[in-house]
Structure 1
Amino acid sequence: MKRRIGLWLKDALGIAVGASIFAFGLNYFIIANRLAEGGLTGVALMFYYLFGWPVGQSYLIMNIPLFIIGWRLLGHEFALKTLWGTAVASLAIDLTAQYQSPMPNDILLAALYGGFFLGVGLGVIFLFGGSTGGGDIVARLVNHRWGWPLGRVLLMFDVIVITSIAFIFGKAVAMYTLLAVFVASRVIDFVQEGAYTARAAMIISEKSEEIARRVVSELERGATVFSGRGAYTAEEKNILYCVVSRSELVRLKGVVYDTDPKAFMIINEVHEVLGEGFRTWNS
């Protein structure tokens, strides 16, 4: 019980930190330079630019009916984290409204920095299992009602919002907004997956067992052997599968080539590996 409470507190703190970073980036770079955003945040920004309504309050008010409707679909744990993330983000947006840095001579930098901070903030929130509501809830509701894929719904929502921004505030604002959204999406992936990338190798060789022994002894990595059959020759073959760090890839190639120069090797990039020898599950 204490461990579960500790994990909840850890997640709540992480979500709060991410929401604060998100709010700072939104105010300091996006709002200060009259840029916009996708999703429900973009709608709140339109209300702010047109009517002067506080962004945080507008965002929270728009989320309340969506949250009530989608409570059962979200699941209690995710719903509570979403409620917490939305509330903290809304409060932080209004509290940090005084911290704005207009960059009239370089809107491009404002879009890049804004996208970076938004991506870091949202990435941290997602990393701790939270959400800021908005488009996430809309996508889940539409998926439940009509079965549309979540990614497609989110993309459509962003396209509608950014298209509206283009008509109301001009094409330039919409283009810089697209740039910020793109940068944010890439940073979110980076935060969630980390800078560490591994390599997964599939090796087809007549000497797969010998290669496997050398991988275990020389590289100190595990390996798995699958049974396969060649489509052209119909011969039974062993397929060796192993995961190594990026720095160990050259050594793996050397082991394979030294053992069997005729081996067939396929290498894929792996963004995250959990387990012994790599990242632990609770890291």
Structure 2
Amino acid sequence: MSEPARHTPIENAQGLVCGTMLVGLAVSLLLHLGLVTGQVAGVAALTSYVTGWSYGAVFFALNLPFYVFGWAKMGARFTLISLACVATVSLLTEWLPAVIPFGAVDPWAGSVWFGVMAGFGFIAIFRHGASMGGVGIVALWLQDATGFRAGWTQLIVDAGVFAAAFAILDPMLVLVSLPGTIILNLIIALNHRRDRYVAR
């Protein structure tokens, strides 16, 4: 397989900015609706709902241990850019409700829109040499090393997060959350492929 063409710095910058903006808006919608998702983002949401702590701060802190793995397996550049993406989304989730306040949103529609926005945001971030931290770092390394698609890895982990969510949240809220998480992972699984793009 030939080496994929490298993106220019400008292409990387616009991809990462657009990706983090989409993910930040998607997560803000998710939190507005009191829904949950998978991976570290889902754990952070559950923690925020139960404790009242800032989602952005919890999300940032929970991602920190994964950077050790990322530094060893994916390299310093990938890890530092991923850290910047996570920090940006953490800040956006604190700031966006003040500038883009959501009103009444149908939860089922909101769940679907979350999945679409977050899915394509993740794709943009992945294709420009980074991740949203957490399980995404492990999933991208596994995809590059074995070809096992990142979306499938994340879907497996998400099953565990949703099992915990059923024990914490109103079961109906968890059910409404499922379409968004499924759509998010299907977008990643179907669009981010080793034969088209690699994470580094």
Fold in common (TM above 0.5): yes
1:60 and 1:9, CA in 2 relative to 1: closer, same or farther beyond 3 A? farther
- Unaligned runs of at least 5 residues, structure 2: 1-6
Check if 1:125 corresponds to 2:132.
no
1:93 aligned partner, one-letter code:
T
1:161 and 1:102, CA in 2 relative to 1: closer, same or farther beyond 3 A? farther
Shift in Å, 1:102 = 4.5
Aligned to 2:25: 24
Secondary structure of the residue that 2:8 maps to in structure 1? helix
Shift in Å, 1:65 = 2.1
Aligned to 1:90: 90
Asked if the contact 1:162/1:177 (under 8 Å) is kept, the reply is: no
Matches of 2:87 and 2:108, distance apart in 1: 30
Asked if the contact 1:124/1:192 (under 8 Å) is kept, the reply is: no
Percentage of matched positions with identical amino acids: 23
Aligned to 1:218: none
Aligned to 2:170: 170
Asked if the contact 1:44/1:55 (under 8 Å) is kept, the reply is: yes
1:134 and 1:79, CA in 2 relative to 1: closer, same or farther beyond 3 A? same
2:61 aligned partner, one-letter code:
I
Check if 1:60 corresponds to 2:60.
yes
Secondary structure of the residue that 1:70 maps to in structure 2? helix
Shift in Å, 1:111 = 0.9
Q: Which has the higher strand share?
A: 1
Instruction: Name which structure has the greater RCO, CA cutoff 8 Å, separation 6+.
Output: 2
The C-alpha deviation readout for 1:187-238, integer Å capped at 9, x for no partner, is 4467658xxxxxxxxxxxxxxxxxxxxxxxxxxxxxxxxxxxxxxxxxxxxx
Asked if the contact 2:131/2:137 (under 8 Å) is kept, the reply is: no
Aligned to 1:42: 42
Matches of 2:140 and 2:82, distance apart in 1: 13
1:138-153 equivalences in 2 (<5 Å): 138-139=138-139, 153=153
1:112 and 1:103, CA in 2 relative to 1: closer, same or farther beyond 3 A? farther
1:228-247 equivalences in 2 (<5 Å): none
Matches of 1:45 and 1:102, distance apart in 2: 20
CA RMSD of aligned residues (A): 3.0
Aligned to 1:224: none
2:83 aligned partner, one-letter code:
L
Matches of 2:176 and 2:136, distance apart in 1: 23
1:30 aligned partner, one-letter code:
L
The C-alpha deviation readout for 1:144-184, integer Å capped at 9, x for no partner, is xxx9x675653332111111111111322222222101222
Matches of 2:182 and 2:32, distance apart in 1: 19
Shift in Å, 1:103 = 3.4
Matches of 2:62 and 2:109, distance apart in 1: 30
Matches of 2:87 and 2:14, distance apart in 1: 13
Q: Which has the higher helix share?
A: 2
Matches of 1:140 and 1:18, distance apart in 2: 16
1:155 and 1:187, CA in 2 relative to 1: closer, same or farther beyond 3 A? closer
Aligned to 2:74: 74
1:184 and 1:155, CA in 2 relative to 1: closer, same or farther beyond 3 A? closer
Shift in Å, 1:87 = 2.0
Matches of 2:13 and 2:192, distance apart in 1: 17
Query: Which has the larger Rg?
Result: 1
Aligned to 2:3: none
Asked if the contact 2:154/2:185 (under 8 Å) is kept, the reply is: no
1:172-191 equivalences in 2 (<5 Å): 172-188=172-188
Secondary structure of the residue that 1:32 maps to in structure 2? helix
